[in-house]
Amino acid sequence: MTTTDFTVTGMTCEHCVRSVSEEVSEVAGVRSVDVDLASGRLTVSADQPVCAEGVRAAVEEAGYQLA
């Protein structure tokens, strides 16, 4: 299993965290998602290295941006 960290900008509440988590969890191969509101850190665990562009697209679909 691999773990990759990203930084999400624009989140202000727990609803934001849920939106990002739900969208990113739908990216192919993703097994778990952890989002920290205070730091903006998004940790994605997957069986293989996750597609960064897929994560970026999912975050943008949720209404936010990767730093």
Q: According to the model, what pLDDT value does residue 29 have?
A: 94
Q: According to the model, what pLDDT value does residue 3 have?
A: 97
Q: pTM above the 0.85 mark?
A: yes
57 by Cβ neighbours in 10 Å (0-12 / 13-18 / 19+) ranks as middle
For the domain that residue 31 is a member of, what is the CATH number? 3.30.70.100
Q: According to the model, what pLDDT value does residue 63 have?
A: 98
Mean pLDDT by 10 residues, the chain (67 residues): 97 98 96 98 95 97 97
Domain membership of residue 52 as a residue range: 2-66
Q: According to the model, what pLDDT value does residue 16 have?
A: 98
Contact 23, 62 (CB under 8 A): yes
Instruction: Tell me which residue has tokens 């191969």.
Output: 29
Q: According to the model, what pLDDT value does residue 12 have?
A: 97
Number of domains in the chain: 1
